[in-house]
């Protein structure tokens, strides 16, 4: 068969028609050229100390598709939309306070959801081009999903650092497949943020240090995923977020009315995505896996979620949870949890909470936890 330009153009048109049947909401194509501009930006980002630490350290791997596949000719970018509204959301009341997971972690783990679609896409291509070389990439941290999606015309890069699709907003999972097929590329979309700065203004921590510039060290989304101690300023900003932060996406006008619910496996279970906080404190590993194992929020294990639950109870000043928090402060072997428990008790500051702090101080050996206990007690005596 003569595979000339018309052949690849026709194949791409057929692929665009087939995409919804493959579970894909938006599909675009870009060349396999290196992402030169992105590399410059990543170098500056690193120099400023704004990386999260979760990134692939090799900037060439992140910006040059040919390092992953020397025969690369094009990259197919896909987007899969996820729901944004929680129907029948349980109410958070004193004594039964609840936390919240970011919308990207609501349904089935997106790694699974995207991998299945990549498998569908590979099968569809190989049926038509058996000698195609295909390399699906799902959150490998290697190529930048956002840069690929932007160049492939899925959306423009918003000031909140999300890719914004006119149809799906930024509520979408992104994945890409490097291919040896010379598919005709799409054009990127014009930036439509205009004068709007709602996301920058709404960010609780000032993590959006400029349009499209994120200091991940101050971003709640990253901080909720760390496993260590969280400083007290950030604890206040975390609120009741257990995993991730959606604020700069929620305020975005492009996102406001978007709620795509046709992928049933991505629909949220309200008790999982807005769970009661107190039961999380004593949750064992098995229980954690049963409750959160199918969500991408589980990728860092239970410790960050339990630490964030303590922070949430402190921010709610939930007096009824004091006995549970005191139990953590006395008995939990993980200092990061005891430190957050001490902070939460200092915020709640009922006589029972202060008593719990004083008692725990006697047997505590961790410098960080002792510091948190002393700060909590000092604040109350001032």
Nearer to ligand SF4 by Cβ, of 144 and 224: the residue is 224
Nearer to ligand SF4 by Cβ, of 34 and 239: the residue is 239
Residues β-bridged to residue 78: 27, 175
Nearer to ligand SF4 by Cβ, of 215 and 306: the residue is 215
In 98-206, alpha helices (H): 110-128, 145-151, 198-202
The torsion angle over the Cα atoms of residues 132, 127, 142 and 165, rounded to 10 degrees, is 120
Q: How far is the CB of 358 from ligand SF4 (least distance, A)?
A: 35
| CA pair distance 201, 205, nearest whole angstrom | 10
CA 182 remoteness from chain centre: 32
Q: Which residues bind ligand SF4 (CB under 6 A)?
A: 158-160, 164, 193, 196-199, 203-205, 207-208, 214, 219-221, 245, 247-248, 251-254
Catalytic residue among 4, 131, 139, 332: 139
Q: How far is the CB of 231 from ligand SF4 (least distance, A)?
A: 14
- 139 labelled catalytic: yes
| CA pair distance 27, 348, nearest whole angstrom | 50
In the chain, alpha helices (H): 5-18, 36-47, 59-63, 110-128, 145-151, 198-202, 220-223, 232-238, 247-250, 270-273, 278-281, 285-292, 302-316, 322-331, 335-348, 351-363, 367-381
| CA pair distance 63, 244, nearest whole angstrom | 26
Nearer to ligand SF4 by Cβ, of 121 and 254: the residue is 254
For ligand SF4, the nearest residue by Cβ is 158
Q: How far is the CB of 190 from ligand SF4 (least distance, A)?
A: 12
Nearer to ligand SF4 by Cβ, of 41 and 115: the residue is 41
Q: How far is the CB of 224 from ligand SF4 (least distance, A)?
A: 9
| CA pair distance 47, 121, nearest whole angstrom | 38
Q: How far is the CB of 122 from ligand SF4 (least distance, A)?
A: 32
Active site residues: 139
């Amino acid at each position: 068969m003569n595979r000339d330009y018309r052949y690849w153009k026709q194949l791409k048109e057929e692929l665009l028609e087939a995409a919804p049947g493959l579970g894909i909401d938006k599909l675009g194509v870009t060349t396999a050229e290196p992402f030169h501009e992105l590399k410059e930006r990543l170098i500056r980002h690193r120099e400023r100390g704004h990386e999260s630490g979760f990134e692939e350290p090799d900037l060439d791997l992140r910006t040059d598709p040919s390092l992953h596949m020397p025969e690369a000719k094009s990259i197919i970018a896909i987007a899969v939309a996820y729901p944004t509204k929680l129907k029948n959301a349980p109410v958070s009341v004193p004594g039964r306070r609840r936390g919240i997971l970011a919308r990207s972690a609501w349904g089935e783990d997106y790694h699974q959801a995207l991998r299945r679609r990549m498998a569908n896409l590979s099968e569809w291509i190989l049926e038509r081009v058996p000698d195609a070389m295909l390399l699906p990439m799902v959150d490998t941290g290697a190529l930048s999903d956002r840069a690929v999606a932007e160049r492939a015309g899925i959306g423009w890069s918003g000031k909140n650092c999300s890719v914004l699709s006119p149809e799906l907003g930024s509520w979408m999972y992104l994945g890409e497949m490097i291919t040896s097929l010379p598919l005709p590329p799409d054009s990127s979309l014009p930036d439509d943020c205009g004068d709007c700065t709602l996301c920058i203004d709404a960010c609780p921590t000032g993590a959006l240090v400029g349009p499209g510039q994120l200091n991940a060290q101050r971003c709640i989304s990253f901080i909720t995923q760390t496993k260590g101690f969280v400083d007290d300023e950030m604890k206040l900003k975390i609120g009741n977020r257990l995993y991730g932060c959606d604020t700069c996406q929620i305020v975005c006008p492009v996102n406001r009315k978007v709620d795509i619910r046709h992928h049933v496996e991505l629909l949220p279970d309200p008790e999982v995505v807005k769970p009661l906080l107190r039961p999380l404190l004593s949750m064992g590993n098995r229980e954690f896996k049963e409750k959160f194992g199918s969500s991408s929020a589980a990728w860092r294990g239970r410790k960050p979620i339990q630490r964030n639950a303590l922070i949430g109870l402190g921010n709610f000043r939930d007096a009824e949870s004091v006995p549970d928090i005191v139990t953590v402060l006395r008995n939990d072997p993980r200092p990061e949890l005891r430190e957050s428990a001490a902070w939460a008790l200092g915020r709640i500051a009922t006589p029972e909470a202060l008593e719990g702090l004083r008692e725990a101080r006697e047997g505590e050996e961790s410098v960080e936890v002792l510091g948190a206990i002393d700060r909590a007690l000092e604040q109350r005596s001032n």
